Amino acid sequence: MKRVKITKNGRTKRQVKKCLSGRIIPASMQSFFGQVKSHAFCSESDSGRVSLAGRLKREPENLQVRVRLAMQFWQQGQQGQAIATINDGLRLRGEESVLAHCLGMFRAENEEYQLAEEWFCRALRWDSRRVESHYWLGMTYAAQKKYDLAFQSFQQAAQLRGDDKAIRQALTLAANCAGSLGKRRAMYLFEQCRDEVDISAGGVIDDLAEMIIAEPEYVKCLIYQRRSGDSHEEHRRLLEAVEQALSRCPAHADLHYYCGIIHEKLGNWVKVVQSLRKALRINPDYNEAQITLGKIYQRMKKLPKARKVLEQAVIGGARYADVYVMLGRISQAMGQLDQARAEYTEALEINANYRQASKALAEMAT
């Protein structure tokens, strides 16, 4: 299956998944499988594996030993042996959701997403309350761009109301689907789980930093979430989490971009520019950063700089009506009226119903 880039830094879904392996296991997923996963991927000696194999012969129904041995086989490249170990357990135990889930994980790790989907669905038929199966089923749906189904799976994980970190993990991946589902539907899930993502509590900073490293889009959804408390303080705490993430991943363009977005919310214009320029040094073709930087330069009355960065964005593919309207306003402010009319007209060619462009042209005609 084709690997699809999901971040501005060009990391693939598989690379992100491997980056996450063993690092973030939400507390409510620290059930049997979570405990096994957190330990089994550590390197063990051959004698340790032999010891597990011997123990499994003596205790063939010991689920934990069987899964640990299978995961050791998988980690050491013996995929056939790993799958055979789980299949033997299914023949022995019958409808066992942990074993089905384990097979789903193996298939997902191997990017065999359709097979992974089948096994996660089977695990949920046998145990519909298995939070981690809902979560990883959502991951496999997202990998196949089945975003509606992914959203439903993450929603199911959230509705089970496990530990708050598990729900934040589900929300992180729901954010990944926001572009295809529409912001409103993604935000519905955030609102539904509002209590579990309370960034006003100082104790969540470390967890937030982990989530943000895994999926920077999470920052966007938290920025635009409706709040009833002190939004300035919550933005400050979110900024603290992003800066903590940046201290560990200083070359991550997305993190610098979202750091700039938070500074914009806090009114720190100089720091907005610094953050966006860092993002663009890492990725010079980062359209969103270029457009935002152009908007900030325009607001700061640095019109030549605003024009230059917005024109770079257009050259890079950001041929959007709102960008041409910004360029038109800059040209108009600089006294370049013919160019302003051309840019407003270009905006209307892109979107004939864009009222800001038609209004600007009408005002110039009077």
Percent of the chain past pLDDT 70, that is, above it, reads 71
How far apart (Å, rounded) are the C-alpha atoms in residues 278 and 260? Answer: 10
Give me the helices (H) in 205-268, please: 205-214, 217-223, 231-248, 253-266
pLDDT tens readout for residues 264-289:
999 999 999 999 999 999 999 999 99
- R_g over Cα of the chain: 25
Between 356 and 33, residue with greater pLDDT: 356
pTM to 2 decimals?
0.57
How far apart (Å, rounded) are the C-alpha atoms in residues 23 and 214? Answer: 10
Average pLDDT in the chain: 76
Lowest mean pLDDT among 121-135, 136-150, 294-308, 332-346: 136-150
- Number of Cβ within 10 Å of residue 173's Cβ equals 23
How far apart (Å, rounded) are the C-alpha atoms in residues 243 and 252? Answer: 11
Rounded to an integer, the average pLDDT of 212-232 is 68
Q: Is 90 exceeded by the pLDDT of residue 69? A: no
- Residue 157 confidence class, pLDDT cut points 50, 70, 90: confident
What structural domains and CATH numbers belong to the chain?
1-190 (1.25.40.10), 307-366 (no CATH)
pLDDT tens readout for residues 304-337:
999 999 999 999 988 899 999 999 999 999 999 9
